[in-house]
Amino acid sequence: MQIRRIGVDDALLQVRRDVLYPNATLSAVTVEHDADGLHFGVFEGGQLVTVVSLFPGKGEAQFRKLATLPAAQGKGYGKAILEHLADICRKENIQLLWCNARDTAVSFYDRLGYTTRGNYFVKDGINFIRMELSLEKPVAKRFEVIPAIDIIDGKCVRLTQGDYSQQKIYNEHPLEVAKEFEALGVRRLHLVDLDGAKKGAVVNWKVLENIAGKTSLVTDFGGGIKTDKDLEIVYECGAALATIGSVAVKSPELFFSWVERFGADKIFLGADVKDEKIAVGGWLETTGLSVFDFLASNIARGVQNIFCTDIAKDGLLAGPSIDLYKKILGEFPAISFVASGGVSNIGDVAALQEIGCHGVIIGKAIYEGKISTAELKSFL
């Protein structure tokens, strides 16, 4: 799926006509001020399947003539293109996105968070009502410090740059570590099943079950989640979010089916990055996929909880990739973005909060004493 700007040509008008006004001529489905609008299309396999037109104004923008070909309906194209419009509006500091929706489409917009305004009116024998989506920035979420617990053989360990031969055991009992974090006031926990990541199936589910059952920590769990059954095990064992990485790269449709089935609020998308390209396979393989293209395609399908690890930094205590994270936040200001990798001291944490990150995952800096308990508590 690709979303891009298009012109007011026969291709756009044909989709408009065929979906919205089947008996009309192409000239009849042009819109007043079409020449002033921004027009977008969704392409699948080279075919134009969805169109919409955006008309920005002062502080608000109207979109008109959203249309998806019948054979392509129900596949998320309408949702994706509207999220694309919302992102454009946010970047232009437009605070309200609206349309005059047909009565048959009200439930669709309801599901996307739009609300009705005013009363129904009739035009050309069709009932319409204004529907609006507020794009004002919500009250800022509290910045989250998220300690990481990596598990091998049921023990709390840390690797250096994902290298299993460079592991250090910090505690034989991960539950004890989790309870210590909880006692400090930590609310979130990042749990990684390194055995599972290596095997390609969830292994250390018992550790997750213990921590979820015996603490109040909001825990995300990843490593080895490759199938529907893996994901079901993770949720059944108490994970609030499932951390997904390589599946989203290698099997995107499977990943999107999980987002649709379980909800975007239950998914924590991990982007491992080297030189702004996505890496997979325990960091052994760098793809040619830009992190920005990867994130854009996932955000268009509703993903909002995202963390990014610069693999050149992870486990080295060399400082986080501030410039990369600034670029990501500038490109995608509406996501809940968590930084990961490289944190070496409390100043790094403050710097990540300052640039707008919603949280930071910290591992080695805590376990090696580079960040003291008192310093950690100042962010809790």
CA nearest 313: which of 304, 323, 305? Answer: 323
| 103 in active site | no
Helix (H, G, I), strand (E, B) or coil at 315: coil
Q: Phi, psi at residue 333, to the nearest 5°?
A: -70, -15
Find all residues with CB under 8 Å of 253, minimum gap 6, and list them.
none
Residue of 193, 220, 272, 348 marked catalytic: 272
C-alpha angle with apex 87: 354 to 288, nearest 5 degrees? 80
**Would you say 156 and 112 are in contact if contact means Cβ atoms under 8 Å apart?**
no
Q: What sign for the dihedral angle of Cα 264, 270, 276, 280? A: negative
Rounded CA-CA distance 20/330 in Å is 36
**356, amino acid identity:** G
Rounded CA-CA distance 157/253 in Å is 33
Rounded CA-CA distance 242/227 in Å is 12
Helix (H, G, I), strand (E, B) or coil at 150: strand
Rounded CA-CA distance 62/77 in Å is 19
Rounded CA-CA distance 195/153 in Å is 7
The two structure tokens encoding residue 378: 């100042």
Q: Beta partners for 268?
A: 243
Rounded CA-CA distance 369/365 in Å is 6
| 150 in active site | yes
Catalytic residues: 150, 272
